[in-house]
Amino acid sequence: MRLHDLMRRAPTIRRWLAMLLAAVIVPAAAAVSVLFVHSYQRERAAAERAALDVARALMQAIDLELASAQGALQALATSPNLDRGDLRAFYGQAVDVLHFRPGNILVLTDRHLDQLVNTHVPYGAPLPHHGNAALLDKVLRNARPTVSDLYTGPTVRRLLTSVDVPVLRDGRVSYVLSMQYFGERLGTILERQRIPPDATATIYDSGARIVWRSRGTTRDVGRGAHAALAAGLLLEAEGTVDEADPDGRPLVTVFSRSSVSRWAVAIELRRSALNAGLWHSLAWIGAGTLALFALGLALVRAIGARIERSIRGLVRPAIALGYGAPVALPPLHLREAKDVGHALVQAAALLRERTAQRDAAERAERQLRESSRAIERSEAFLRGVFEESPDGVLLVDADCRLTRANAQAEQLFGYPHGALAGLAIDTLLVDAAQQARPVCDRVRAIARRTGTDGMTELLGQRRDGTRFPADAMVSPLRERALVILTVRDMSVSKEREVALRRALDDKNILLKELYHRVKNNLQLLISLFNLQVRTLDDGRARRALEDAGGRVRAMALVHERLYQSRTLSSIALDSYVGELCEQLAGTASAPQRGVAVRVEAAPAEVGLDVAAPLGLLLNELVWNCLNHAFPDGRGGSVRVRLEREDEGTMRLTVADDGVGLPATLDRTSSRTLGLKLIAALSEQLHARFTLDNAPDGPGAVATLVFPLSFPLPGGHGPAAMPGRHAAPKPPCPNEMMS
């Protein structure tokens, strides 16, 4: 009876199994839903981490490029052309450096923020002030390299950035070297990296402004980031921001900010493209889940069938038991199948974890290889700069021993390749001024200070014992406890200096002898004029010879002052005017006639080109005042005043308190020799001459305003003085010269 009931209830067991399957499917469906959500979040986090890894790699590439530019500028800052002030040679050296960095601009700026060299324009072209005065002022104050944000370059009139390095001389910043970058140049660096095809990479400066955008245009440069991204760039080193593009489409932006330059690289991913990839992955998961459900259903049906067969199979063993026959039970493997299913689930989870770890390791290895190649290229460039330097370059350790030297240093000191390593610096260099003082002490003292400094008055010792004059530049490398010592052979420079000094001494001797002989010859002419005057009666011929003698005396006094001067190229104008007036007063017997000559002269230095015509002109003015302003034994005074009108102009005033100018005098006439002479001398001096009666008393006043230096031929030099007359007025306040 019981076996019959069991056989009758077999279909009911199937219904129970179906209900059990339904009870399992509902929680399974919920679990699958949770699995879908978890997988979606996990896949999205993995995609964001991958994008963040790419952003880090791009930022490292930018930092490496900026560090390489800083190293190149620091190497260029040691150029001896800056010490000599040879900016043309430095311009050529800067152009050579830019051969390895096409598209960049190298700028040299002085402490007044004036550009001295700009490789974007030819050498010698006019240059404006630097376009980023605030940053350069910071570099001048702090004496540290700086990476600038975007600013407008004054020569290219475009937004650009730069790496600015101070050039130190004698412990202070003398110049600032700038390597200017356009956004396209930095963009080519990022294009060599592997940016996801559906992503947009953007470089931001420390003020969250766009430096370059992979899918943008030049109009995007300088535009600020969105508010959410800008806040993230300012507050965090890296992260993820959800935002929308100008069309309203959702974006996922990951960014990484450099701790060195404070710049950041952001990668924008469209949410639709990201979701498409994630849903593609989830579709495979769903398909697998459905397949597992189908398999589970088949297994449940198979297990149900096996249970049914087992129940039905119990009839025969029971009948056999009843008859005492052997009982053979069918095998049942339900528990083992369940264990195998759990094992498969665990294996699948472990396989997914191992796959993610393998992908991350491959990305890290690829980034490491790319960084290693970039470092190798940078090291090759620096090694080339080290080996190709025209000066000897020595690396000195803390014990003042050489660790490395370039080929030029080995040739300079006469050592074979590799023989300089390990030698003490004092065996190669000696202090020429204090040979007892070790050069090592000077090197250590400079290395303790900040920046680069030079050492002069050294003697280099070759391997064969010979010595040569040398100069050295010391640049400390504090990170490696080394000192870069750049040594230059100064033999040719010393020989040229000695030759130039000898030639200058010979020239001064010859020039002094020339001035002396000219003065003697002019003095001989004066003596001949005086002898001839004694043979003539008082008349026009005698006065003409006396006038000519006075003019020659003025010229002789100029040459006498020149060979007595310290520089042989200029004379003291104040003392020359005073002595010339004293000689004229003595020649005209002014003290005996009761006529006083008073001189007030401001200090000034002039050359022969000004002193000679001015002396002749002053001779004409004072001589005619002494001869014509005080007739019939009348007494009085002649006042000569020399004063500065402005920075480059002098005013000469000759005034007397004599009879004054005749009412019938034609001031524009130039028929007499004196007037022709004064006109020619005024034109030669580029002067403005005026003549009139004194406004507040008897007598006349003559005024001459002249520059201290003349314009060069062709219109170069000081500008012509305003108001000059083509034909100056008569030279004497009282009577035309005959």
Residue 240 Cα distances to 255, 274, 597, angstroms: 7, 14, 93
Q: 């989830």: which residue's tokens? A: 282
* Final residue of a structural domain among 549, 569, 589: 569
| Claim to verify: residue 614 and residue 637 sit in the same structural domain | yes
* Final residue of a structural domain among 514, 545, 569: 569
pLDDT of res. 734: 38
Say which CATH number the domain at 430 has.
Answer: 3.30.450.20
pLDDT of res. 718: 42
**13/308 Cα distance (integer angstroms):** 8
* Final residue of a structural domain among 569, 598, 626: 569
| Claim to verify: residue 560 and residue 595 sit in the same structural domain | no
| Claim to verify: residue 522 and residue 668 sit in the same structural domain | no
**480/416 Cα distance (integer angstroms):** 26
- pLDDT digit string (tens) for 483-499? 888 888 888 888 788 87
For residues 539 and 257, which has the higher predicted lDDT (pLDDT)? 257
User: What region, left, alpha or beta, does residue 162 occupy, with left being phi > 0 and alpha being psi -120 to 50 degrees?
Assistant: beta
Asked if residue 670 is part of any domain, the answer here is yes
| Claim to verify: residue 557 and residue 501 sit in the same structural domain | yes
- pLDDT digit string (tens) for 33-55? 666 666 666 777 777 787 788 88
Say which CATH number the domain at 721 has.
Answer: 3.30.565.10
398 C-beta neighbours (distance < 10 Å), count: 10
| Claim to verify: residue 731 and residue 619 sit in the same structural domain | yes
| Claim to verify: residue 591 and residue 726 sit in the same structural domain | yes
Asked if residue 188 is part of any domain, the answer here is no
Asked if residue 601 is part of any domain, the answer here is yes
Structural domain of 632 = 580-738
Structural domains of the chain, count? 4
Asked if residue 649 is part of any domain, the answer here is yes
| Claim to verify: residue 605 and residue 660 sit in the same structural domain | yes
Asked if residue 341 is part of any domain, the answer here is yes
* Position 19 confidence tier, pLDDT thresholds 50, 70, 90: low
Asked if residue 234 is part of any domain, the answer here is no
Give SS3 for 248.
coil
* Position 638 confidence tier, pLDDT thresholds 50, 70, 90: very high
pTM above 0.75, yes or no: no
Q: Which of 277, 257, 279 is nearest to 266 (CA)?
A: 257
DSSP assignment letter at 465: S
| Claim to verify: residue 435 and residue 467 sit in the same structural domain | yes
Asked if residue 228 is part of any domain, the answer here is no
* Position 641 confidence tier, pLDDT thresholds 50, 70, 90: very high
| Claim to verify: residue 603 and residue 675 sit in the same structural domain | yes
Most trustworthy range by pLDDT among 100-114, 214-228, 321-335 = 100-114
| Claim to verify: residue 501 and residue 550 sit in the same structural domain | yes
Q: What letter represents residue 538's amino acid? A: D
Consecutive H or E run containing 656: strand 649-656
With contact defined as beta carbons under 8 Å apart, do 94 and 106 qualify? yes
Beta strands per DSSP E along 231-284: 238-244, 250-257, 264-270
Residue 370 Cα distances to 101, 194, 350, angstroms: 19, 10, 31
Please count the CA atoms within 13 angstroms of the CA of 24 that sit on its side-chain side: 10
Asked if residue 590 is part of any domain, the answer here is yes
Bridge partners for 707 per DSSP: 649
| Claim to verify: residue 347 and residue 395 sit in the same structural domain | no
The yes-or-no verdict on residue 179 having pLDDT over 50 is: yes
* Position 721 confidence tier, pLDDT thresholds 50, 70, 90: very low
**636/622 Cα distance (integer angstroms):** 13
| Claim to verify: residue 562 and residue 605 sit in the same structural domain | no
Q: Which of 466, 372, 472 is nearest to 78 (CA)?
A: 472
Largest CA distance in the chain: 190
**680/439 Cα distance (integer angstroms):** 65
732 C-beta neighbours (distance < 10 Å), count: 27
Please count the CA atoms within 13 angstroms of the CA of 630 that sit on its side-chain side: 24
